[in-house]
Amino acid sequence: MKKRASTVAAIAVVSVLWVTLDQPSQWSQPVSSDKDLTKTYAQAMIYWNFDDRGHLSSKITVEEARQPLRKPVTELAGIFVNGNTSDQRAWTASAREGVLWGGNTRLNLKSEVELQLPESSMSLQANHLNLDLERKLARSSGRVKLISENSETTARGLLADLDRQLIKLHEDVETRYAQ
């Protein structure tokens, strides 16, 4: 009887170990490193930036914000920016995702980026755009498209002074006019 009980106990222990070790979810997932960890996370967040005189210069609305543990940036999703020129004319920018850094004054927009200039029917579309919210500048080294009622201009790279409403296109500039 003792031999039978110890055999049953041994089989039970082996069965439990077999079932435990056979769970793929416990052994196949990589161990997350510190760079993957999140320090803070927020949903439906608004950042307000003010100039030196205390006037609102930009407002960034995001669907999600995540700050990685060991990075000095905030990763954003669902971004909408309302900006103001120094004479309080409004401009807007939007993107599916981006990164906020530089004391919350620099914004790298990525994926489905659109910029609407003050009091203009012209919009700019790009895959990425770097915004300096403090200096009111936008830069891109990639393909950009300026769209208006009567024309569509494409180029590679631009520098836009949002305050002065001045856009300088860099290379491969081509304009097509509506007929």
Model confidence pLDDT, tens digit, residues 94-139 = 999 999 987 788 999 999 999 998 777 889 999 999 999 999 999 9
DSSP per residue over 62-116, as a string? EEEEEEETT-S-EEEEEEEEEEE-TT--EEEEEEEEEEEETTTTEEEEEEEEEEE
User: Is 129 within 8 Å of 107 (Cβ atoms)?
Assistant: no
How far is residue 177 from each of residues 70, 114, 153, measured CA to CA in Å?
A: 49, 21, 9
pLDDT one-digit tens code per residue, 144-158 = 999 988 999 999 999
pTM for the model: 0.75
